[in-house]
């Protein structure tokens, strides 16, 4: 009886710990956007340079995404999560003690970014799909909503810390919290994979990384999901995660109201991910995903017209929050069903790499366009049309996969 209880609770323990790990990782990413104006004022760096740091971090996560996914396919998520959190904590501590541009780039864009690449939505999604035989969409939605839930409380608290004391203290606090979280993961995170998934993976263990990668790349469903997620990255990690808080500052809002708006966006984001995760198990997934992208595109019209109206900024945060990271659970579900559980970590890792590359493009060129025109209008209009394009792409998919997945 005791053994059955452990088996029943094992997947949900992983969901809870994954939720908290993502909360810290994504809050650290958001904090960089919060302190960008302060870095420029204190250290004399340009918006292009600080945007370049953000873009470098995103590119690093893109490179690591397929490798992290492959490791999850073979060994489970525990080791990947522990390594990623260790690097994240190290990067935060180094950022807090340096003022040299190269050292800062290495600390955040290299070391911490490696942590971002390992403590990532695709790693958590693959782990959930490996563990759950039912309600995968809901479980994935809950676990991955940590990417926004932590920002609901953590980013506003860090904004108070930054406003009252110093931006360096914010990164020290993040590093310390990550170390504590590592202890919890090491103690309670399930090691390895469930016996069912181990058996399934053993059936496909004879294929190499190169063989699986080549087969995945040749699948039309992969190409559609990859390029739609690339555009997703531009319109979320790239322009919003990097430039939303600097844009709010540009509009005249202080750190606390700006971070509060971002926290509101994150709160709605949490609800949106769980809701979409629940819907993923019940409705036509391509229609759901396409609708999310189309609504997201329209929200950028609000952002263009924020001006000095805080209520408009908050309205954007509410609507965008519903369609921000909510693409993750439904995309994960499509990867699992159309490409296969056995290679889900690798496949979703490759797709997530596209997301991070798109984010890097948005982050970097957002800074370039701001330096050129001293305004963000072109950034928001480009995001609108790219989100619409992503929505049209996924509508080409079928809800029920054709034969020929790489599932065992």
pLDDT, position 368: 84
In contact, 286 and 394? CB cutoff 8 Å: yes
pLDDT, position 252: 87
pLDDT, position 242: 80
Task: Identify the residue whose tokens are 């690449």.
Answer: 117
78-96 and 2-43 helices, crossing angle to 10°: 20
In contact, 293 and 232? CB cutoff 8 Å: yes
What sign has the CA pseudo-torsion 194, 198, 201, 203? negative
pLDDT, position 30: 80
Token pair belonging to 325: 């990271």
In contact, 124 and 75? CB cutoff 8 Å: no
DSSP 256-294: HHHHHHHHHHHHHHHHHHHHHHHHHTTS-HHHHHHHHHH
What sign has the CA pseudo-torsion 210, 214, 215, 220? positive
Q: What angle do CA 166, 247, 310 make, to 5 degrees?
A: 95
**Which residue intervals of 97-166 are DSSP H helices?**
101-106, 113-118, 121-131, 136-144, 146-164
In contact, 24 and 85? CB cutoff 8 Å: yes
Cα–Cα distance between 296 and 323 in angstroms, integer?
6
Cα–Cα distance between 296 and 324 in angstroms, integer?
7
Domains of the chain: 8-394 (1.20.1250.20)
Task: Identify the residue whose tokens are 């690097």.
Answer: 87
Average pLDDT across each block of 10 residues of the chain; the chain has 408 residues. List them in order: 50 87 88 84 85 84 88 84 94 93 93 92 84 79 83 78 86 94 86 54 64 92 96 91 86 84 84 92 95 96 89 93 92 92 90 89 84 84 95 94 59
Cα–Cα distance between 306 and 64 in angstroms, integer?
36
Rounded alpha-carbon distances, angstroms, from residue 75 to 27, 37, 72, 198: 27, 41, 5, 9
pLDDT, position 4: 46
Cα–Cα distance between 209 and 201 in angstroms, integer?
13
Q: What angle do CA 186, 187, 190 make, to 5 degrees?
A: 80
- Helix (H/G/I), strand (E/B), else coil: 44: coil
Show Cβ contacts of residue 217 under 8 Å, excluding neighbours closer than 6 positions.
223, 350
- Helix (H/G/I), strand (E/B), else coil: 56: helix
pLDDT, position 139: 87
């Amino acid at each position: 009886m005791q053994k059955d209880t452990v088996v029943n609770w094992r997947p949900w323990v992983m969901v809870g710990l994954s939720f908290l790990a993502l909360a810290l990782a994504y809050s650290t990413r958001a904090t960089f956007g919060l302190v960008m104006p302060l870095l420029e004022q204190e250290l004399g760096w340009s918006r292009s340079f600080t945007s370049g740091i953000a873009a470098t971090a995103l590119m690093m996560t893109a490179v690591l995404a397929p490798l992290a996914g492959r490791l999850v396919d073979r060994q489970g998520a525990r080791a990947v999560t522990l390594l990623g959190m260790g690097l994240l904590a190290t990067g935060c501590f180094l950022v807090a003690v340096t003022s040299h541009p190269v050292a800062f780039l290495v600390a955040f864009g290299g070391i911490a970014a490696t942590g971002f690449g390992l403590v990532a939505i695709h790693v958590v999604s693959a782990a959930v799909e490996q563990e759950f035989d039912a309600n995968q969409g809901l479980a994935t939605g809950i676990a991955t909503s940590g990417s926004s839930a932590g920002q609901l409380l953590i980013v506003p608290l860090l904004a108070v810390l930054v406003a009252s004391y110093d931006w360096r203290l914010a990164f020290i606090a993040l590093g310390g919290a990550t170390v504590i979280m590592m202890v919890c993961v090491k103690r309670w995170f399930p090691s390895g994979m469930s016996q069912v998934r181990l058996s399934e993976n053993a059936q496909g263990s004879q294929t190499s990384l190169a063989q699986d990668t080549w087969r995945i790349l040749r699948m039309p469903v992969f190409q559609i999901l990859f390029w739609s997620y690339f555009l997703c990255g531009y319109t979320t990690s790239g322009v919003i995660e990097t430039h939303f808080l600097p844009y709010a500052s540009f509009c005249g809002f202080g750190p606390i109201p700006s971070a509060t708006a971002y926290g509101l966006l994150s709160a709605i984001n949490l609800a949106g991910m769980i809701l979409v995760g629940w819907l993923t198990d019940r409705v036509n997934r391509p229609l759901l995903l396409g609708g999310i992208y189309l609504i997201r595109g329209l929200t950028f019209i609000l952002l263009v017209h924020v001006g000095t109206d805080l209520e408009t900024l908050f309205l954007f945060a509410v609507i965008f929050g519903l369609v921000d990271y909510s693409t993750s659970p439904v995309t994960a579900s499509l990867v699992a069903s159309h490409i296969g559980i056995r290679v889900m970590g690798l496949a979703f890792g490759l797709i997530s790499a596209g997301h991070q590359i798109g984010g890097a493009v948005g982050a970097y060129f957002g800074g370039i366009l701001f330096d050129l025109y001293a305004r963000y209008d072109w950034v928001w209009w480009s995001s609108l049309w790219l989100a619409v394009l992503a929505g049209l792409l996924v509508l080409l998919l079928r809800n029920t996969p054709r034969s020929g997945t790489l599932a065992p």
